[in-house]
Amino acid sequence: MRRADLVAGMLLLAVAAVYFHQSLFIARGFADRLGPAFVPRLLAGALAVLALALLVRAVGGRSEATPPPEARTGLLVVVLALLVGYALLMPKVGFLWATPVLLAAVLLALGVREPLPIALTAVGVTAALYGVFGRLLGVLLPGTPGRL
Amino acid sequence: MRWNVLRVVVTLLAVLGLSLAALGQARYPNKPIVLVTHSSPGAGGDIFLRNLAKYLEGIVPVPLVVENRPGGASARAVAYVATSPKDGYVLYGATPTMLQTPLLTKTQYSYLDLQPVANVFFDPMILYVRADSPWKSLRDVIDEAARRPGQIRFGAATPGSVEHMIAHHVMSVAKVKVQPVTFEGGGDLLVAVLGGHVDLGVGEYAEIASQVQAGKVRVLNSFTDKRIPGTAIPTAKELGYPIVVEKFRGLLGPKGMDPEAIAFWEKAIQQVLRKPAYQMYYRSVYQVPAYMDHVQYKLYLDRMNVTLRRYLKSIGLVE
Amino acid sequence: MLERFALGAQVALHPQALLMTLLGVAWGILGGALPGISGSIAMALLLPFTFGMDPAVALMMLAGVYVGAMYGGSITAILVSTPGTPGSAITVVDGYALHQKGESGKALGVSLVTGTVGGIAGVAILVAFAVPLSRVALAFGPPEYFAFGVFGLALISSFVGRDLVKGAISAILGLMLATVGTDPFTGTPRFTFGSVDLVGGVAAAAGMIGLFAVSEIFYQIAEGVDWERIRGRYTTKLPSLVELWRLRVATFIGIVFGTIEGLLPGGGGAIASFIAYNEAKRWSKHPEEFGRGSLEGVAAPETANNVVTATALIPLLTFGIPGSNSAAILLAGMMLHGLQPGPALFDRTPHVVYGLFVGLLVANLFMLVLGLLALRPSIALVNVRRPFLLSAILGLVLVGAYSINNSMVEVWIVLLTGVVGYLMRRYGYNVLAMVLGFVLGFMVEANLRRSLLISLGDPWVFFTRPISALLLALAVLTFAWPIVRRVREDRRGVPKLAPELTHRAAR
């Protein structure tokens, strides 16, 4: 956990810095006394202090002892890549084409190897989602006719 | 011989039918028309369009479909309409938000990428106080503001909104200083006025009408050009303060929209505003019919845009 | 009064009215259960269909949706860790923990029964105390809302467990997320990085779907439990009457805070259900179960939520001010039928008002029946092999996120907050504290700034106004109490619970 806390502390300091930097570009306006940048700067300061506390604690070796459990990070990255690909491509190829592919790919990635259940899930879940959201609730899913 | 006559008749009928069908194809409208709103379902802009669509039944011969494209404070809806085909089958139900957003943020499209079609309503704005307030008129407020500059708490919606603009107009026209207090919605402001947390508020008449009837709040004046129909509320103009600010509601299409479609909608809006059932409805929610054709509407929006920009500059929100 | 009730009953118990209320409740349960579709959206979608109806029947149908959506939202909160509204965010903690222990039927059953009790109690409060309670709403000005919000934020110290530094970091990240978008106070865009898509801010539903549901899916994928072994362990066993009776204190606490939540139109929102949860924990005989699957932890917030369906009508009917998004749609429904809410409404159209009251009672009973019927099928839906469940939930939450604004922006937000939430869970931060900061952030900031406007710059306004001062004092106590207790326990050498035992959502 110590190394994780060190990394997190650095990262959070960076977040606080970027956030503070962005707050410099907020138009002030004359509408109220504190202004739209006051609370953000307060938050950036508080985050920086807490991140420093985290770092000091980690350097001093007082971090929590329990390490996080083993993670299958590789698998998560694969699923994440699939999701990002889906978010990029779905508006272009349409909901009804992209969704079954995503569902099947996620199932494959998670180690399912039976073709029939994969196909049925991919098509069935897509159809159910389209029926409920697209038709019944009138959500304008990309590449599908809306509800009239 | 008889057979021939029949053939001629059939041929003629067929030609007539085809040309009628072709005529039907050419005439606008011949397929469902989409009305786009930047409001979420159930919010003001959404209700306006759904009601309009309901009462246009019988005037517009094709189905009208309301589509909600919220997000980006109207930027998404404007972008969607601006990039739609120009055949007049996608229209936008506009409010002043459409003008504000491009002034405050960099957006890809603004109202200049749209073709004004017709304005429909003004939502009248009024100034009100709690019933036990000593003020009876805008003049009392201004006198008090002159005595205690910057001490009167003037509740209004977000800066950039027409409500907030009114607060600033009052200050610049009467040369006094008040303290505008921002609220997110007209309802929140009404509670604050009723609870005595602010001294007065500016809002849509429809939002406070029932409290007026119950005697809980008093309306001082409206900021309309003429008195609100069916009321005896004086206008600010009558009192000598020429402040006229309205929330407009109208229709716009993509720039370069088919002139035939524009003409069709100009006629349809005039007709629907005369429909008794619709009149009964819009009077009950205090919307004032304010028809403008596409030329007048364009001029109006240009003027409103300049006013808004000048005001946003004066409060330091735009360069 | 009684004859008005008789009139209302006559309207509400008409077969057509009953049918429409039933349909409304069913539609509400469906809409509430779908992520991204809130109760208010489900109601708004029905609005056009109520055009032709009698106004009383139309309002009953909409109210049915409102009531049904509350239970629908708890179905997904419990079964797939996706709260439908900020008000049911806290339900996820113990509801989902119970589900993971296999006690899904109990969790849903408790939510259903206490929800019905809350709904009926709410109607009783509405009928009996509408006028005096409406004055409470007026007493709350900007300083009081600010203090109330701070009170809500103070709860993080009791939610985060031992690591206060990481808990505070989590809450601040949530507060930061809430600042993205147009500052509704000045109209200036903040932290939008020049993108129009962020001008509207991060939708509450998107943030919660990402932080709760998507991060949970990522967690299950990466920290891989043995999937084959836990197949089919979700049971449909309902809570017993004895178990329900033990929830009476938590339910009562839920009623008290739900009443307050409904009364405060300016955005009390989620705070009351968080406070109800915290108080239920404090008064519980088994506070150690909270966060690990306590039935009381489900009962308190779910009661509060359903009380709100009735008490939110108090500011709506007396001032025409909606106490929630759903009440706003109800207001729209009234306006569509030419009904002006306000004091005169009760006298002018008693059959509508009292029809609505009786209709709400009927809707709560329908919710109980329909909820019991829907309980088994919905548990059956999640009783599939884990990879299939995970991919189906992914599909559901992606469409849900898209449907918030009919746009991909929310899909990206959900994925991003999902990754953040996963990392937070993995490294001992607290997702719940982040959600708390996220849903309260704007309300606290706006009312801080607004208070200074109405006080003409005097910062003492928070302490000179009695309600605000009291709430701030309570906030300090609420914040300090768990810390003091922990320090004392440490001194006495009470054995610490292994961190693995605490539920992930609460970590």
Residue A64 CA from chain centroid, whole number: 26
Contact A27 B67 (CB under 8 A): no
Q: How confident is the model at residue C501 (pLDDT cuts 50, 70, 90)?
A: very low
Contact B207 C320 (CB under 8 A): yes
How far apart (Å, rounded) are the C-alpha atoms in residues B94 and C454? 33
More confident residue, C362 or C203: C362
Domain count, chain A: 2
Q: Which residues of A28-63 are buried (b: 16+ CB within 10 A; e: fewer)?
A: ebebbeebbbbbbeebbebbbebbebbbebbeeeeb
CA proximity to C152, closest of C31, C278, C292, C329: C278
Report the pLDDT value the prediction gives residue C288, as an integer from 0 to 100.
87
A82 and A128 assigned to the same domain: yes
B43: left (phi over 0), alpha (psi -120 to 50) or beta: beta
Contact A32 B32 (CB under 8 A): no
Contact C187 B187 (CB under 8 A): no
Give the gap in angstroms from C-alpha C165 to the nearest C-alpha of chain B. Answer: 33
Q: Which of A31, A140, A148 sits opposite B315 (nearest CB)?
A: A31
* B75-133 tens-digit pLDDT: 889 999 998 999 999 999 999 989 988 888 778 899 999 999 999 999 999 999 999 99
Contact C320 B46 (CB under 8 A): no
Q: What is the DSSP letter of C502?
A: S
- The contacts of residue C468 (CB under 8 Å, 6+ apart) are C143, C144, C146, C147, C461, C462
Percentages helix, strand, coil for chain B, rounded to the nearest 5? 45, 20, 35
Give the gap in angstroms from C-alpha C323 to the nearest C-alpha of chain B. Answer: 9
Give the gap in angstroms from C-alpha B145 to the nearest C-alpha of chain A. Answer: 18
A54 and A77 assigned to the same domain: no
Q: Which of B75, B190, B206 sits opposite C319 (nearest CB)?
A: B190
Report the pLDDT value the prediction gives residue C351, as an integer from 0 to 100.
87
A88 and A126 assigned to the same domain: yes
Q: Could you tell me if residue A68 is inside a domain?
A: no
Contact B316 A146 (CB under 8 A): no
A55 and A25 assigned to the same domain: yes
B69, B103, B188, B311: best to mutate for the C interface, most C CBs within 10 A: B188
Residues in chain B within 8 Å Cβ distance of C343: 210, 214, 216
The kind and range of the H/E element at B201 are strand B200-204
Domain count, chain C: 1
Which residues 30-89 of A have a C-beta within 8 angstroms of B? 30-32
Report the percentage of chain C scoring pLDDT > 70: 94
Report the pLDDT value the prediction gives residue C502, as an integer from 0 to 100.
40
Is C469 touching A (CB cutoff 8 A)? no
Give the gap in angstroms from C-alpha C480 to the nearest C-alpha of chain B. Answer: 31
Q: Which of B51, B160, B210 sits opposite C320 (nearest CB)?
A: B210
Is A99 touching C (CB cutoff 8 A)? yes
Residues in chain A within 8 Å Cβ distance of B67: 140, 146
How far apart (Å, rounded) are the C-alpha atoms in residues C120 and B70? 35
What mean pLDDT comes out for the span B185-190?
A: 82
Residues in chain C within 8 Å Cβ distance of B209: 340
Q: Considering just the CA atoms, what is the radius of gyration of chain C in Å?
A: 22
CA proximity to C70, closest of C436, C364, C276: C364
Inter-residue contact B116 to B250 (CB < 8 Å)? yes
Q: What is the mean pLDDT of chain A?
A: 88
Biggest CA–CA distance in chain A, Å, is 65
Q: Could you tell me if residue A141 is inside a domain?
A: no
* C69-89 tens-digit pLDDT: 989 989 999 998 988 777 788
What mean pLDDT comes out for the span A53-62?
A: 85
List the single residue in B with minimal CA-CA distance to A29: B316
Q: Could you tell me if residue A79 is inside a domain?
A: yes
B178: number of Cβ within 10 Å: 24
CATH 3.40.190.150 residue spans of chain B: 29-123+247-314
Residue C234 to residues B25, C353, C381: CA-CA distances in angstroms? 59, 43, 10
CATH 3.40.190.10 residue spans of chain B: 125-222
C163: number of Cβ within 10 Å: 19
* B73-84 tens-digit pLDDT: 788 899 999 989
Give the gap in angstroms from C-alpha B125 to the nearest C-alpha of chain C. Answer: 17
Is A50 touching C (CB cutoff 8 A)? yes
Give bridge partners of residue B292 from the DSSP assignment: B119
* A11-37 tens-digit pLDDT: 999 999 999 999 998 877 666 778 889
B233: number of Cβ within 10 Å: 19
What mean pLDDT comes out for the span C201-217?
A: 91
How far apart (Å, rounded) are the C-alpha atoms in residues B194 and C137? 10
User: ipTM value of the model?
Assistant: 0.94
Q: Please return the burial class of C13, using the count of CB atoms within 10 Å of its CB with bins 0-12, 13-18 and 19+.
A: middle
Inter-residue contact C441 to C177 (CB < 8 Å)? yes
SS3 C66: helix
* C431-479 tens-digit pLDDT: 999 999 998 888 899 899 999 989 988 999 999 999 999 999 999 999 9
Q: Which of A12, A90, A107 sits opposite C388 (nearest CB)?
A: A107
Report the pLDDT value the prediction gives residue C269, as an integer from 0 to 100.
60
Is A20 touching C (CB cutoff 8 A)? no
Q: Which amino acid is at B21?
A: A
How far apart (Å, rounded) are the C-alpha atoms in residues A132 and C23? 16
Inter-residue contact C266 to C444 (CB < 8 Å)? no
Give the gap in angstroms from C-alpha C398 to the nearest C-alpha of chain B. Answer: 17
Contact A146 B317 (CB under 8 A): no
B67, B171, B172: best to mutate for the A interface, most A CBs within 10 A: B67
What subunits make at least 3 CB pairs under 8 angstroms with A?
B, C
Contact B315 A30 (CB under 8 A): yes
CA proximity to C292, closest of C94, C504, C95: C94
Q: Could you tell me if residue A64 is inside a domain?
A: no
What mean pLDDT comes out for the span A88-107?
A: 95
Contact A32 B182 (CB under 8 A): yes
Q: Could you tell me if residue A66 is inside a domain?
A: no
Q: Which of C173, C422, C445 sits opposite A39 (nearest CB)?
A: C445
How far apart (Å, rounded) are the C-alpha atoms in residues C9 and A47? 57
* B281-306 tens-digit pLDDT: 898 888 999 999 999 999 999 999 99
How far apart (Å, rounded) are the C-alpha atoms in residues A40 and C183? 11
Domain closes at, from A15, A35, A59: A59
State which of A41-45, B29-33, B211-215 shows the largest mean pLDDT: A41-45
Q: What is the DSSP letter of B318?
A: -
**What is the residue range of A104's domain?**
73-136
**What is the residue range of C180's domain?**
2-506
Is A25 touching B (CB cutoff 8 A)? no
A35: left (phi over 0), alpha (psi -120 to 50) or beta: left
Give the β-pairing of B247-254 and B90-94: antiparallel
Give the gap in angstroms from C-alpha B2 to the nearest C-alpha of chain C. Answer: 55
Report the pLDDT value the prediction gives residue A66, as an integer from 0 to 100.
62
Q: What is the mean pLDDT of chain B?
A: 87
Q: What SS3 string covers B80-149?
A: HHHCCCCCCCEEEEECCHHHHHHHHCCCCCCHHHEEEEEEEEEECEEEEEECCCCCCCHHHHHHHHHHCC
* C266-298 tens-digit pLDDT: 555 678 888 899 999 989 999 889 988 999 999
Q: Which of A31, A146, A148 sits opposite B159 (nearest CB)?
A: A31
Contact C184 B76 (CB under 8 A): no
CATH topology of domain B125-222: D-Maltodextrin-Binding Protein; domain 2 (3.40.190)
| Chains A–B, number of C-beta pairs less than 8 Å apart | 23
C282: number of Cβ within 10 Å: 14
Q: Which amino acid is at C356?
A: L
A54-58: long-range contacts (C-beta < 8 A, 24 or more apart)?
A: A54/A5, A54/A8, A54/A9, A54/A12, A54/C165, A54/C166, A54/C169, A55/A5, A55/A6, A55/A9, A55/A10, A55/A13, A57/A5, A57/C165, A58/A2, A58/A3, A58/A5, A58/A6, A58/A9
How far apart (Å, rounded) are the C-alpha atoms in residues C241 and B302? 68
Contact B213 C196 (CB under 8 A): no
SS3 C302: helix
List the single residue in B with minimal CA-CA distance to A27: B317
Report the pLDDT value the prediction gives residue B187, as an integer from 0 to 100.
79
pLDDT(C226) > 60 = no
Give the β-pairing of B125-130 and B217-222: antiparallel
Superfamily classification of domain B29-123+247-314: Bordetella uptake gene, domain 1 (3.40.190.150)
Q: Which residues of C238-258 are buried (b: 16+ CB within 10 A; e: fewer)?
A: bbeeeebebbebbbbbbbbbb
